[in-house]
Chains A and B, each alone.
Chain A
Amino acid sequence: MLEIKCPYCGKRSQNEFSYGGDANLKRPELGKEVSDKVWDDFVYYRSNPKGKHSELWHHVSGCRQWFKVSRNTATHEIFKTSKLDEEL
């Protein structure tokens, strides 16, 4: 079980959090016309890197804040966590 440092609450066990996927995903702007490819990339396609990955986590059983985590997907090493508006 991972130990994740919530930027608001501090270190907590993984079972307080839920995973939210790629932190660099950008939703196309509302009302803007986008191609099928751009939209499909946003909805379906994710890279699955072995190694460093920036991802979102949600402190569901805590402060209910979403935040960013830089994690090694192969070793589970967590390099850094940050609030959404901070540099990861």
Chain B
Amino acid sequence: MSQLYRLNKDGYINRDKKISFVFNGKKYFGYEGDTLASALLANGVHLIGRSYKYHRPRGLFGAGVDEPNAKVQLYRGTETEPNANVTEVELVEGLVAKSQNCWPSVYFDFGAINNFLNKFFPAGFYYKTFMWPKNFWYKVYEPIIRKIAGLGVAPLTPDKDRYEHKYEHCDVLVVGSGPSGLGSALSAGKNGARVILAEDKPRFGGSLLTDEVTIGNKKGNEWANEVILQLKSMPNVTVKNRSQVFGYYDHNMMVMFERTKDHVENPKKFTPRQRLWYIRAKEIIISTGSIERPLVFANNDRPGILLASAAKEYMKVYGVLVGNKPIIFTNNDSAYETAIEFKKNGINPIIVDTRESSDNSVVKEAKNLNIEIKFSCGLANTRGYRRVNLATIGKFNSDKSGYEKLENISCDCVCVSGNWTPTIHLSSQSGNKLKYNDALNAFIPNQQKQNETTIGSAKGSMTLKQSLEEGFSKGFELSNKITNNNLKNTAPTSNERNYGQHDKFWCMPLPKKKNYKRFVDFQNDVAVSDIELAIREGFRSIEHIKRYTTLGMATDQGKTSNLNGLQLVSNIERKIVPEVGHTTFRPPYTPVTIGTIVGREVGKHYRPTRKSPMHEWHEKNNAVFVDAGLWLRPRYYKQEKETLLEASTREAINVRKNVGVCDVTSLGKIDIKGPDSAEFLNRVYTNAWMKLPIGKARYGVMLREDGIVFDDGTTTRIAENHYHMTTTTAQAVNVLAHLEYYLQVVWSELNVNVVSTTEQWAGAALAGPNSRNLLSKLFPENDVSNENFPFMGYMESELFGVPARIFRISFSGELAYEINVQSSYGIFMWEKIIELGQEMNIEPYGTEALSTLRIEMGHVAGSEIDGRTISYDLSLEGMLSKKKDFIGKRSLIREAFTNPKREKIVGLIPLDQKTMIPEGSHLVKDGNATLPNPKLGHVSASCWSAEYNNPFSLAILQDGKNKIGEKLFAVSPLKNRNIAVEVVSSHYVDPKGERVRS
């Protein structure tokens, strides 16, 4: 016994291929080409879930993206997906779905008690109730509400699927493949434009799939098929189904997701689940059609009550009857099509029409088919808990404020139609100023802001003839603008039923003395009474009413409810709808999974990883790496069970005693050439650069124009007009942009060129008393004595045949050198250094030991150059040239920067000589004072001194210059520390700087 509601004809499904699936633990069958929705309906299943707030039973309401009710939890293997729209889920073998927001089951749901307690859940209830006792909110109320009011369950494991991004350009992007979209794509494509046609459903054709029309001498759907085949054969046209254009951004950037995997039975291993397209189109044609509006009446949310157009779509596309005893409830002619379709399938529908009469062709046709029509009537109420089984039909009184008489008619489904709402989301997102169309009772696009043209029923052109004509003419017009071709295509002739004016009456009165709920927004359970309450409570702006009642704020974004909400507000306020205005349409048009937005930029692909040419050696030698910007640098080289502190202390001590080698490839390197290079450096750095001899390096500090220290490093004069600048790892990119800005924008008269060479050179720093000895082994032909190669010297040589640059510079404060070779020889250089250094007890050292060495030497780094300090604060004021101007100099005479009590860098030693001071601790006079305890400074960097074997920190301290010798407290409330410290000089080791010159 299965698929009792399946017709044996009609539809685009493949009846030869049966597909099994499981819903709420029960196995069902459908056919290839079904959606989960159509397959459930074929099996007579209408009850899909429970509503958000009141847990009322809910069924399918639509057949597409507008579906407000039927959201389920899907299971694919170990993966789960919440809030899937059953109308959009294509049936594949083995699909498992479950109702959500219900317990223990959708059939008997405990939460439905809310329906009886609904007096406690009016609009904005969460602002009014659960206020006392205060601490109950987090502990009691919120967890309970979260449990009962909600959607599906978010997956807890990482998404194993693969998502991809794609960038595309085209002349014309056509969104939607109904008659107007097909016409425009064909017309633009034939005229030579590069066209992309996007359709969100699996099948192309839009309304042509369901409407009884002819185009030329063909049926509508046949014509659509033919056009699609034609478009697919054109090399300048891309045709995409299952592709939802969901966002319209600046400069005609459209974003679309394409479903590429979930509908495939056995996808290949690397098939992405979805693909995100960024499409930059010269012209956009929006042919997104329209969505049918519900009518609002008492208990209009029962399973079995759905849109008339959806009922027709289930019959025509899937060969499924939504019921055997249908009532068609309408205020317009289009729903008669659904009635006629039922009749053709041997079902006798009853039409309830709010209008007094109508004599358009489609109504006459219905009459000729002997379909019962009740004019001047409306649905006063419905009954049936898990599926509608009775409709109370009321004959309106003269002003439609109530009913003259009521009549109960049994039924198993109600197909409602409250006329059509153009799908204007994309044009509104583009910035189009919408206008209200009185005949349609809906907003349509008006004033364009970008290159966007809306056509067909999305623009309010409700006939096939208009849609086709607009499609063909706009397709030509827009393509002609781009290609200048003149190949004109005219719209084929067409035949359709004609419709008359709809009844601008959509909210049915309640039967006397009844207070049934009349839902406007099904997904968020917003009823007429909630909107009335919001207005009574003083909310006036539609944006406020929306937020207070949550109207249109569910995952369906009010596709079926927004306009009825607006109309209701305008009725109550006695305003016209355009005065009430509309809420803002924002992307995405339909929900987009986060995975699609993120694409391949997950895990290690989140951003590039930069590795030095010596990276593999570090890996082989137990390096523990640390992120330094994009770079991975060895933090320390672990031996046996060493901790970070043990390892870095060992490495630092070895530098102080013997010799160490550190990979400094990541330091920024900028090659500077040109006759004005010296002048340029003189302007960029705070110290003097005009007289730096060839073959010498100099330390330099650069400021921003506001006087704050920007970066530091050494620059070496390689030749007359050639310099090599180094920057910190973190600022390398910014320093280059800074130099380019001044050279191109500010001082374009300077003849200087700069280029980054960071990745062209591999760098190794040798540091320690044995480094000269090692250098002489590496470069046996060079005289590297202190006399011939003094501190801040530079020479070029060959490292066993490999061209090398040698700098005598030091970050560690020890006698030190830096060797640079071409990156491809980096590993050769490194291994040579290790090999020849063995006899001098060489050890590699990482960034942690490097920090220790620089901290105890009092050298500043990123933790002191933090965007808040000036040269004085860092004791670099001696490098401020008095003779010349430089970037930022003028700022230094501003009042705050000349304050004699400014912060200054100092050293700190804990009085107990044992306790490490946490970085970021505040310095205060009294560690036990009551709050607020005035802060005198902060700890910027801490280390375990390799030289003195006790903790040492650097700090930026108010009036630090005069506080040497004072006792203060370093407090870290986060780490619950309060450490007594002594202020000392920041130059803890070798304060005179003798070692680097030795």
Contact = CB atoms under 8 A, between A and B. Distances in A.
Interface in B739-758: 740-741, 744-746, 748
Interface in A1-55: 1-3, 13, 18, 20, 27-28, 30-31, 34, 36, 39, 42-44
B449 A75 contact: yes
A30 B885 contact: yes
B737 interface: yes
A76 B250 contact: yes
Contact of A65 (B250, B251, B278, B744): B744
Contact of B890 (A28, A56, A84, A85): A28
Contacts of A60: 737
B740 A66 contact: yes
A80 interface: no
A56 to B, nearest CB: 6
B162 to A, nearest CB: 22
B253 A3 contact: yes
Contacts of A13: 167, 280
A38 to B, nearest CB: 9
Interface string A65-87: 11000000001101000001100
B249 interface: yes
Chain B interface category by residue count: 20 to 34
B431 interface: yes
A64 to B, nearest CB: 6
Nearest to B748: A84
Contacts of A27: 705, 746
A58 to B, nearest CB: 6
B875 interface: no
B885 A34 contact: no
B754 to A, nearest CB: 9
B250 A36 contact: no
A58 B740 contact: yes
Given A1-B250, A75-B431, A39 B890 contact: yes
Contacts of A36: 894
B744 A84 contact: yes
Contacts, number: 52
B240 interface: no
B489 interface: no
B683 interface: yes
A30 B431 CA distance: 46
Given A64-B740, A84-B745, A30 B683 contact: yes
A82 to B, nearest CB: 13
Interface in B442-487: 449
Contacts of A43: 705-706, 891
Contacts of A28: 890
Contacts of B744: 65-66, 84
A1 B253 contact: yes
A66 B745 contact: yes
Nearest to B884: A31
B458 to A, nearest CB: 23
A58 B746 contact: no
Interface residues of A, number: 27
A21 B440 CA distance: 47
Given A39-B891, A85-B748, A20 B250 contact: no
Nearest to A32: B885
B745 A2 contact: no
Contacts of A78: 251
A18 B737 contact: yes
B713 to A, nearest CB: 20
Q: Considering residues A30, A56, A64, A65, which has the most beta carbons from chain B within 10 angstroms of its beta carbon?
A: A30
A16 to B, nearest CB: 12
Interface string B881-903: 00011000011001000000000
Nearest to A76: B250
Nearest to B251: A3
B249 A1 contact: yes
A43 B683 CA distance: 17
A74 to B, nearest CB: 10
Interface string B337-374: 00000000000000000000000000000000000000
Nearest to A26: B746
Nearest to A44: B706
A51 B709 CA distance: 35
B250 A2 contact: yes
Contacts of B706: 43-44
B453 to A, nearest CB: 18
Nearest to B755: A64
Nearest to A85: B748
A85 B749 CA distance: 12
B331 to A, nearest CB: 39
B599 to A, nearest CB: 14
Nearest to A3: B251
Contacts of B280: 3, 13
Contact of A42 (B278, B705, B741): B705
Interface string B852-895: 00000000000000000000000000000000110000110010
Contacts of A31: 884-885
A34 B890 contact: yes
Contact of A66 (B278, B741, B891): B741
B254 to A, nearest CB: 11
B251 A76 contact: yes
Contacts of B431: 75
A58 B400 CA distance: 66
A35 to B, nearest CB: 10
Contacts of A58: 737, 740-741
Nearest to B704: A43
Interface string B944-988: 000000000000000000000000000000000000000000000
Interface string B232-258: 000000000000000001111100000
Contacts of B449: 75
A75 B705 CA distance: 31
Contacts of A2: 250-251
Contacts of B748: 84-85
A28 to B, nearest CB: 7
Contacts of A75: 431, 449
A60 to B, nearest CB: 6
Interface in B409-466: 431, 449
Contacts of B251: 1-3, 76, 78
A46 B886 CA distance: 22
A56 B431 CA distance: 26
Nearest to A18: B737
Interface in B207-263: 249-253
Given A20-B745, A58-B741, 12 more contacts: A1-B251, A2-B250, A2-B251, A3-B280, A13-B280, A27-B746, A30-B683, A30-B885, A60-B737, A66-B740, A78-B251, A85-B748
27 contacts: A1-B251, A2-B250, A2-B251, A3-B251, A3-B252, A13-B280, A18-B737, A27-B705, A27-B746, A30-B683, A31-B885, A34-B890, A36-B894, A39-B890, A39-B891, A43-B705, A43-B706, A44-B706, A58-B737, A66-B740, A66-B745, A75-B431, A76-B250, A76-B251, A84-B744, A84-B745, A84-B748
Interface of A: 1-3, 13, 18, 20, 27-28, 30-31, 34, 36, 39, 42-44, 56, 58, 60, 64-66, 75-76, 78, 84-85
Q: 5 tightest A-B contacts by CB? A: A3-B251, A30-B885, A31-B885, A66-B744, A76-B250
